[in-house]
Structure 1
Amino acid sequence: MQPNSRKKTDLLLMVALMPPTLIALNYFMLGEVYFSSFKNFGIASAVSLSVLLGVWIAQGMLAKKMLQLFPSHRDTVKRVVIFYSLNLTIVALTVTLICWIFDLFNILGFRFTMDAWTRSLIAGGICTIVNQAVYETEISFGRIRASQLEAEQLKKAQLQTQFDSLKEQVNPHFLFNSLNSLSSLITTDPYKAEEFVVEMSRVYRYLLRSNEEQLTTLQKELEFIESYNLLLKTRFASGFQPVIAVEEKMKEYLLPPMTLQLLIENAVKHNIVDPDAPLIVRLYTENGKLIVTNNLQKKNKAVVSNKIGLSNIIQKYKLLNCTDVEIKETANEFSVTLPLIKNTN
């Protein structure tokens, strides 16, 4: 939730919860005399409100600190227990202070007795529990709303990825080159032509289904990339040389679908791919991350690019609350380091 929205919500909660808290505390402390006249009601409410406002602000700061220390929903129980304990302590001190003020200035004839203090303490404790429950409910609903918004944004990003990739793969150049390669294979190597068609169908099938999941396993991505790489190797022969060295234990980790295809496509698009100057694309895992690199041999003629592929990948990882994608370029190499997400299933 945005800071301004959070402040607005806190203000609305204070407006809604402060009056009943104030009335309950004064009634339990003073009894019927509190409602005996508008004057009594006004005096008692004004005195108590002057103290409660300060306490409410302090509790709000404490609540904010608790959310910073325990931001995850998995820490809710721990946060609530600690917050309740601290809150009840603050309430006990506040009730004691209010009772002392009323007794010191002889407001409405109040006397600080154990009975009056106990009643006030019970009222303050009940109000605190109720207010805290309302606050926690609002926090939970806020997280649900935020999660739904992030899910929608992630789905939108995935659809954009799918559209961009399909647009790239279905463009006349790609189809012409693929069909030209297929035509040559039919004449020279019918068996390989059949394999080419199978791999091509797998590529398109994966592209069409990629928006159905927010995350996929690295194993599935690598299987897809094998098909995609075969098309590129058929087209460029030894000019395209993929090298895959992924640890077996990392293959069950997760990442957004089509991430690898976008990176390989980006490398092919911006670099010379020729048997005399092969483009070497390496995919490997290191320290729980996936690294994709390629040697830099940029085309003489600059390629028009809106950099949708890289920005789309970065946006997806941000929506997934993962560590930043690292992009580095040296004189000889371009690399992208991707966080891999542990598969909790």
Structure 2
Amino acid sequence: MQPDSRKKTDILLMVALMPPTLIALNYFMLGGVYFSSFKNFCIASAVSLSVLLGVWIAQGMLAKKMLQLFPSHRDTVKRVAIFYSLNLAIVALTVTLICWIFDLFNILGFRFTAEAWTRCLIAGGICTIVNQAVYETEISFGRIKASQLEAEQLKKAQLQTQFDSLKEQVNPHFLFNSLNSLLSLIAIDPNKAEEFVEEMSSVYRYLLRSNEEQLTTLQKELEFIESYNLLLKTRFSSGFQPVIRVEEKMKEYLLPPMTLQLLVENAVKHNIVDPDTPLTVQIYTQDEKLVVINNLQKKNKAVVSNKIGLSNIIQKYNLLKCAGVEIKETVNEFSVVLPLIKNTK
């Protein structure tokens, strides 16, 4: 929830919950005297309100701090327990202060006794439980709405990635080059031509299925990129040289699907790929991160690019609350460092 929206919600909650809290506390403290006249009602309410407003603000600040310390929904029980315990202490002090003020200034004949203090404390405790229940319910609904929105945004980003990737692969230029490569292989190496068709089929199958999951394992991404690399190696021969060095233990880590394909495609699109000046794309893991790096040999004619691929990757990581994508370009190299997400299943 945005800060402005959160502030408006807090004000609405205060407007809705403050009056019944004020009335309950005064009635338990003063009894029927509170409602005996409009004057009595206004005097008692004004005195109590002056104290409760300050307390309410303090409780709001405390609630905000608790959300910062325990932001996850898994910490709800711990946060509520701590928040409620602190709130009870605040309520006890508040009730004591209000009773003392009423007794000190002899407001409506009130006398500070153990019985009166206990009644007020019970009323304050009940109001605190009700108010906190309402607050926690509102927080839960807010989180559900935020989660649904983020899920929709992530789904949209995945569909956009799939569409962009599929559009790139089925455009006439790609099909022409692929069919040309296949035609040459059929003539000189039928077995390799059959392998080429199988790998091409794997590429399209993965592209079509990639929108079914928000995350995929690094193992699956590597299997896909092996097929994709074979198509590129068939097309560019020794001009394209992929190097993959991934630790076995990292293969079960997660990342958004199609990430590697976008980065390899980006490298091929913007650089010269030739046997005399081969393009080397390295993929390796380091400190629970995936590094994709290629030597930089930009084409003489600049390639038109809207950088959707890289933006899409960054957007996905942001939606997954896993920011930290690093993009670096030097005179000789272009690199992208991606955080890998631990698989908890």
Q: Same fold (TM over 0.5)?
A: yes
User: 1:157-184 CA deviation, whole Å, 9 max, x = no partner?
Assistant: 0011011111111111100000000011
The Cα of 1:323 is off from its aligned counterpart by 2.9
Tell me the residue number matched to 1:14.
14
Partner of 2:301: 301
Equivalents in 2 of 1:192, 1:100: separation in Å?
Answer: 92
2:270 is the alignment partner of 1:270: yes
Q: Percent identity?
A: 90
Deviation at 1:30, TM superposition (A): 0.6
C-alpha deviation, 1:86, in angstroms: 1.0
* Cα distance in 1, alignment partners of residues 31 and 341 from structure 2: 59
Cα distance in 2 for partners of 1:230, 1:49 equals 74
Letter in 1 for 2:128: T
What is the letter of the counterpart of residue 233 of structure 2? K
* Equivalent in the alignment of 2:52: 52
Q: How does 1:25-174 map to 2 (within 5 A)?
A: 25-174=25-174
**Whole-angstrom distance in 1 between the partners of 2:329 and 2:126:** 61
Write the letter of the residue equivalent to 1:128. T
Letter in 2 for 1:120: C
Structure-1 residue corresponding to 2:214: 214
Shift of 1:25: 0.5
Rounded to whole Å, the distance in 2 between the matches of 1:94 and 1:326 is 51
1:175 matched to 2:175? The reply is: yes
Tell me the amino acid that sits aligned with residue 282 of structure 1.
Answer: Q
Shift of 1:331: 0.8
CA contact (8 A) 2:253 2:341 kept: yes
Post-superposition shift, 1:61? 0.8
User: Matched residue of 1:290: which SS?
Assistant: strand
What is the distance in 2 between the residues matched to 1:136 and 1:310?
Answer: 38
Q: Secondary structure at the match of 1:301?
A: coil
Residues 180-215 of structure 1, C-alpha deviation per residue, up to 9 Å, x if partnerless? 000111111111111111110111111111111100
- Structure 2 counterpart of 1:255: 255
> Aligned partners of 1:37, 1:190: CA distance in 2, in Å?
101
- Structure 2: segments with no counterpart, 5+ residues: none
SS at match of 2:327: strand
Query: How far apart are the structure 1 equivalents of 2:262 and 2:11?
Result: 46
| Deviation (angstroms), 1:320 | 0.3
Counterpart CA distance in 1 for 2:309 and 2:324 is 16
1:321 aligned onto 2:337: no
Q: Secondary structure at the match of 1:179?
A: helix
Question: Is the partner of 2:49 in helix, strand or coil?
Answer: helix
How far, CA to CA, are the matches of 1:249 and 1:35 in structure 2?
72
Map of 2:237 onto structure 1:
237
Range moving further from structure 2, 307-316 or 101-110? 101-110
Query: Matched residues in 2 for 1:209 and 1:69: separation?
Result: 39
Separation in 2, partners of 1:64, 1:38: 37
Q: For residue 339 of structure 1, what is the amino acid of its counterpart?
A: P
Q: Which one-letter code corresponds to 1:42 in the other structure?
A: C
CA-to-partner distance for each residue in 1:252-285, whole Å, 9 max, x for gaps? 0000000000000000000000111110000000
- Matched to 2:40, the amino acid is N
Q: Distance in 1 between matches of 2:141 and 2:244?
A: 44
Residue 120 of structure 1 aligns to a residue in which SS? Answer: helix
Counterpart of 1:283 in 2: which secondary structure?
strand
Q: How many residues align?
A: 345
Pairwise CA distance, 1:340: 0.4
Task: Calculate the TM-score normalised by the size of structure 2.
Answer: 0.99
Three-state SS of the structure 1 residue aligned to 2:294 is strand
Check conservation: 2:314, 2:323, Cα contact below 8 A.
Answer: no
Counterpart of 1:127, as a letter, is: C
The yes-or-no answer on 1:279 pairing with 2:279 is: yes
Identify unmatched segments of 5+ residues in structure 1: none
Alpha-carbon RMSD: 0.7
